[in-house]
Amino acid sequence: MSRKRIGEILLERGAITTAELDAGLKAQRQTQQRLGATLVSLGAITEPMLVQALSEALEIPVVDLRAVAPDWAAVHLVRARFCEQHEVFPYALESVGGRRQLVVAMTDPLNKSAVEEIEFTTGLKVSPRVAALSGVRAAILRYYHKATPSPAASPSRPAPSAAPSAARGAAQRPAAPPAPSRASPPEDDDEEVIIGEEVPPGENTARTSLAELIGKREAQRRKKRGKSESKGRSSSTSGVLDDLEYLVGDLREEPDRVEELERKFWALMRIMARKGMLTNEEFTRELDDTDEG
């Protein structure tokens, strides 16, 4: 997935001007909304234009949540509060190459931290789809809070991405007709998926620097492990796998399981770094103790 930011993508595609991007970034610092929603609220771009530009630039399909019947097995996997905070909505499970994936509608497919947390907490790889913010908010209200979405949920009128009090108030209105489901709707739960203070998007801090360092170490370990597969495990790549085997048993005969656990391990490291639960010194001392070459 592209590492560019939404503003860069829109600017390169001629959807917005440099002046509009600057105005959007300035407004974003005040509203704390995501940049895409901020640009829509300022009238610099329409919601359909934003969705189409992201879909084409990132080569990710678009989903219209108004036209799908969510699988409750997927909805149950992610908490309402997390969906509100990150503007995502899990709506289906699919099988790719014999492995299950969680299909998630996202207003910002570049929100890597949200993807990593979902993958870590569910144990499933995320298959993203680009969706309109109004559609995601309406789906959250309808399927998590059992409320009829109102026109006020449109991004043309700025609103915080996480607004449990508003959602609870909306829940007092008459409920929409029940949608096809395989299970009863999940109860609203105010508990976060992972407790901790997330670093605001785009903010450069020691936490984000550490998260990037962990990402580089993960890429290096994967590359070394790939080279050593035909020769057996080398001492330079055995550290993480040894730790995993200590926790869950011998994994030498389960390569698929090794890959899944390693992915979750590195995702956890990055999540802890962004939430201030891991320092650079701790990472260097406990985890980065092998050759970096």
Which one of 22-26, 169-173, 208-212 scores highest in mean pLDDT?
A: 22-26
User: Order of strands across the sheet with 125-130?
Assistant: 88-96, 99-106, 125-130
113-168, pLDDT tens digit by residue?
999 999 998 989 999 999 999 999 999 999 999 987 765 444 444 444 434 434 33
DSSP 176: P
Query: Over 90: is that where the pLDDT of 171 sits?
Result: no
Find the mean pLDDT for residues 221-225.
69
49-73, pLDDT tens digit by residue?
999 999 998 899 999 999 999 999 9
Better-predicted residue by pLDDT, 280 or 128: 128
User: What is the structure's pLDDT at 219?
Assistant: 72
User: Number of helices (H) and strands (E), helices first, in the chain?
Assistant: 13, 3
Which amino acid, residue 54?
L
Neighbours of 59 (CB within 10 A): 8
Burial of 243 (0-12, 13-18, 19+ CB in 10 A): middle
Q: What is the 3-state secondary structure (H, E, C) of 121-132?
A: HHCCEEEEEECC
- Helix %, strand %, coil % for the chain, to 5? 50, 10, 40
Which amino acid, residue 279?
T
Q: State phi, psi for 100 to the nearest 5 degrees.
A: -80, 140
Query: Over 60: is that where the pLDDT of 175 sits?
Result: no
Better-predicted residue by pLDDT, 73 or 287: 73
Distance separating alpha carbons of residues 260 and 275, to the nearest angstrom: 23
CB 23 within 8 A of CB 39: no
231-245, pLDDT tens digit by residue?
554 444 455 556 656
Residue 165 gets the label, from left (phi > 0), alpha (psi -120 to 50) or beta, of: alpha
Mean model confidence pLDDT for the chain: 74
State if pTM tops 0.75. Answer: no
Find the mean pLDDT for residues 200-210.
57
Which amino acid, residue 116?
E
75-91, pLDDT tens digit by residue?
999 999 999 999 999 99
Burial of 29 (0-12, 13-18, 19+ CB in 10 A): exposed
